[in-house]
Structure 1
Amino acid sequence: MAFARRPCARLLQAGRGACARAMAPPLRFALELRDCTLAHFALGAADAPAARSDPRLAALLGPPGRSFSLSVRAAAPGDCGARVRAARLHRRLQQELRRGPFQRCQLRRLLCYRPGRAGDAQQGFLLRDPGGGADTRSALLELLGSGPEAAHLHLGEFEEDPQGTLWRREWALQGGRQLQVGRAPVLPAPEPPLHPLVPDLASSVVFPNRDAAREVLEACTPFIPEAQAVLDLVDQCPREIQRGKFPIIVMEGLDATGKTTVTRSVSESLQAVRLQSPPSCIGQWRKIFDEEPTIIRRAFYSLGNYLVASEIAKESTKSPVIVDRFWHSTAAYGIAEVGGGVQHLPPAHHPVYQWPKDLLKPNLVLLLTVSPEERLQRLQSRGLERTREEAELEANNIFRQKVEVSYQRMENPGCHMVDASPSREEVLQTVLRQIRSACY
């Protein structure tokens, strides 16, 4: 979805003083590298004594070539609507930076943040033009000044002076003229104990309760009609539900681990009702929400858990219930979307691994596992259309590892591992033994 082409004069007429304050450079940056490590750097005072650039930063940001930072201004803490709009702007910006004159450039994730301040992180990109073309800045400024949303974008350009100091210049477009509105030296910075996005997970990825997820989808109703339909269904579910006397077993696992097959077999063996999350009542809209940013996508799946919980409560009064995925998969895939590698996941026992207090809790959660090689072979033999998650798991080995580790760190309840490599009958008997031991 392209930005509308409009002059940005009225954007800057809204008050250059206020705009300049809002666009004050963040204190820290985290640049994601190809191996999923992070390079951190800070911006010093413009009048600070000059210091030679760190060789690692100079190689990433300095010549040859030109490097630019483009980020979306963070929403005010507690402003859910602004967070949703910022996430959608970031997604459209990513699409624009893969088109036209930017196709020759290298694109990497760049995070701007202030240490110790939750909700203040700015999602963005580092755009590196290997050829160092002078027209790249002009094309970015045209993008910056192409509509009212441009007020929420920051553009910076990195350059090295003759003394070897690396600088970041901030740019704006005024009356068709390129205008430098800030300048600061780039300094190396230590990596913080936690990934800068971890403090924001509860408000954007792993929602701690139904109301937090509902607030996100409510902010989406002006531009996603299906969001209101989901909310209407959720509002029909009682808040206080009790499970019945029969056990509730959840089957989790990556795609192609045999999860759906085992779930079907177990339900037949135990004469249990088989359910899945998201439930069929909203499954028709899954592709729509899968195309949205993480905060919207995860809110959709989170509310799907509350919808299926209402079904679980009713069915568990009559028979055992087997659920094909539930909260653990929603949380594990969401956590894995945070940048960096496995080492940047929230540490074990972090609150994001805890089951929501207002969500019906199962008696047992089983996690099916197979080797990466066997899983890939199964995927290829299926010949079915891949989901977004399947494609990501297949293309990104580190993402797969992050999902697996996140599953293993879940608590209250945790996941009981089951090796799904043997024959179908052997796996079924192993699962049934675990169910009988834990639930009967």
Structure 2
Amino acid sequence: MPLLPRRIMALLSRWSSRVSSVDVDGEALYFKIHGNQRIAAGKGMQRLFGNVEKDGKCYSLLVSSEDSLRSARFHWGLKDKLLRDLPPQCRLLPMSSFLPNVKDSLLRGYFLQVASPESSLTTERLLRQWLQDDDPLLVCSYSQVNKLDTPRWIQHLWNEEQNYEIALTEAPQYHPATLNLINNDVFYSFQEARDVIQKCADIIPEAASVLELLPCSGDMETRSKPDFPVIVLEGLDATGKTTLAESLRDVLGATLLRSPPQCLTPWRACFDQEPPMLRRAFYALGNYITAQQICSQTSKTPVIIDRFWHSTAAYAIATAVSGPLCDLPAEGSELYCWPTDLLQPTLVVLLTLDPEERKRRLRDRGQGETKEEQELDHNQLFRLRVEKAYKRISGPACISVDASSSAQQVLQQVLHLIKAKCQL
């Protein structure tokens, strides 16, 4: 067997301690190598392996590289490769592996349910070919055996040719994604986000153009309180942010800015097609460009901003932490804290709206939706996670305003808030 990479060797040294999670129809099923505290298999094992015929197999592919950017890009492209090349009888499910309660131990990948022996042969041949290409993959196959007339599932770890019995286990104290959010899904400093874009400049030509727009690191130090208030409007699409922002601009004689800033528009489509790590770094840097624009205006007028860091963080957290609301980071978590080097607004208004009314407004617009907005429309749980994350972010926290009233009534409510909170 060829010499294993150092990263793989480190993983294998703690393999028995790792827990795997597979997303089956929106529910996370957790399993690990069989230990003394075994949880009964029950329906969970049937859901994980039940569609596989006798002599069929399941497979797991985990992406592992010492280079986090390489891992992110490889994982992002792996799904298309699997869907394109594997037999149609192969079902693809999101998967991860992690050390419980250990930061930055998360590996992402896919779990393959292969329904028949014939499809298993084809799948295994393809996977072995890919492993020869020096891809950063950790591959396991799973097969059923009978022990004392009781079905058991065996994990065969290809990288070291070892077999382990596995069993379902309890959900961890923290959702595994929460231990991997910092500077992967949510960026808390200008330099961390810039470093990600800098690393990909050789492979993504557009990254160089983005870097040219960025302020110098020294310009991102925390600034003193601005002369005029900075008011951020947050909320899902079609809650009335644009209408309210323009009305406030006219009434207050304010400067209106939007995040991400218009200067990034030529490259948004490109980064929207990249892995979450790159996409989030791109939008995080948009906030810092907006902050620089704010600083150039607050000595002259109040500033109204259509979305800012709250949106960037709330969508990232709600996307990365799939599952029920209880899986989100708890209120007060460091994950909801404002970046120390990003200008803090004076007031953040979160416009809320009944989901059906919001959908009606979107239809009336006749505009195309972003991928995340489409997800909001058909996935109620995702929408609830976004809304909950919005409300937990501090520095400052959002103040919710019901946007179901007329535009004029909403304007008056917000003007009252501004008068009370901003001394205007």
Moved more, 314-323 or 335-344: 335-344
CA shift digits 1:156-199 (9 cap, x unpaired):
22222122111112347xxxxxxx82211112222111111212
| Residue 335 (1) aligns with residue 323 (2) | no
* Aligned mate of 2:191, from 193, 205, 211: 211
Identify the residue that residue 391 of structure 1 maps to in structure 2.
374
Q: 1:234 to 1:137 in 2, by over 3 A?
A: farther
Identify the residue that residue 220 of structure 2 maps to in structure 1.
239
The alignment's TM-score, normalised by the length of structure 1, stands at 0.87
* Aligned mate of 1:30, from 15, 21, 25: 21
* Aligned mate of 1:96, from 81, 95, 118: 81
State the AA in 2 paired with 1:437.
A
User: How far 1:335 sits from its partner (Å)?
Assistant: 0.2
Q: 1:281 to 1:422 in 2, by over 3 A?
A: same
- Does structure 1 retain, via aligned residues, the 8 Å contact 2:257–2:305? yes
State the AA in 1 paired with 2:19.
R
* Aligned mate of 2:208, from 206, 214, 228: 228
Q: 1:20 to 1:359 in 2, by over 3 A?
A: closer
Aligned residues: CA RMSD:
2.4
CA shift digits 1:376-402 (9 cap, x unpaired):
111122111211221221232211111
CA shift digits 1:127-149 (9 cap, x unpaired):
223x3243335335424523776
CA shift digits 1:20-43 (9 cap, x unpaired):
736634621112232x33211111
Moved more, 57-66 or 317-326: 57-66
- Does structure 1 retain, via aligned residues, the 8 Å contact 2:8–2:138? no
Identify the residue that residue 170 of structure 1 maps to in structure 2.
157
Percent of residue pairs bearing the same amino acid type:
34
* Aligned mate of 1:56, from 17, 29, 43: 43
**Per the alignment, in what secondary structure is the counterpart of residue 98 of structure 1?**
helix
Identify the residue that residue 96 of structure 2 maps to in structure 1.
111
**Structure-1 separation of matches of 2:170 and 2:64:** 22
- Does structure 2 retain, via aligned residues, the 8 Å contact 1:247–1:363? yes
**Per the alignment, in what secondary structure is the counterpart of residue 263 of structure 1?**
helix
Where does 1:393-408 land on structure 2 (aligned, <5 Å)?
393-408=376-391
**Structure-1 separation of matches of 2:42 and 2:303:** 58
Q: 1:393 to 1:52 in 2, by over 3 A?
A: closer
- Does structure 2 retain, via aligned residues, the 8 Å contact 1:74–1:121? no
User: How far 1:155 sits from its partner (Å)?
Assistant: 2.1
Identify the residue that residue 413 of structure 2 maps to in structure 1.
430
Q: 1:19 to 1:266 in 2, by over 3 A?
A: closer
Identify the residue that residue 9 of structure 2 maps to in structure 1.
21
User: How far 1:64 sits from its partner (Å)?
Assistant: 4.2
* Aligned mate of 1:414, from 381, 397, 404: 397
**Structure-1 separation of matches of 2:363 and 2:318:** 23
Identify the residue that residue 158 of structure 1 maps to in structure 2.
142
- Does structure 2 retain, via aligned residues, the 8 Å contact 1:306–1:359? yes
Moved more, 292-301 or 134-143: 134-143
**Structure-2 separation of matches of 1:190 and 1:331:** 29
Unaligned runs of 5+ in 2: none
| Residue 70 (1) aligns with residue 60 (2) | yes
State the AA in 2 paired with 1:360.
L
Unaligned runs of 5+ in 1: 1-11, 77-81, 173-179
User: How far 1:362 sits from its partner (Å)?
Assistant: 0.4
Identify the residue that residue 145 of structure 1 maps to in structure 2.
129
| Residue 347 (1) aligns with residue 330 (2) | yes
CA shift digits 1:29-61 (9 cap, x unpaired):
112232x3321111138xx99x89612342033
User: How far 1:421 sits from its partner (Å)?
Assistant: 0.6
| Residue 307 (1) aligns with residue 289 (2) | yes
Q: 1:141 to 1:321 in 2, by over 3 A?
A: farther
The size of the alignment, in residue pairs, is 411
State the AA in 2 paired with 1:395.
H
- Does structure 1 retain, via aligned residues, the 8 Å contact 2:41–2:168? yes
**Structure-1 separation of matches of 2:323 and 2:88:** 24
**Per the alignment, in what secondary structure is the counterpart of residue 146 of structure 1?**
helix
**Structure-2 separation of matches of 1:52 and 1:281:** 54
- Does structure 2 retain, via aligned residues, the 8 Å contact 1:68–1:158? yes
- Does structure 1 retain, via aligned residues, the 8 Å contact 2:24–2:48? no
Identify the residue that residue 9 of structure 1 maps to in structure 2.
none
CA shift digits 1:210-258 (9 cap, x unpaired):
1111111111111112212222221347223445311100000011111
**Structure-2 separation of matches of 1:239 and 1:107:** 43
User: How far 1:19 sits from its partner (Å)?
Assistant: 8.5
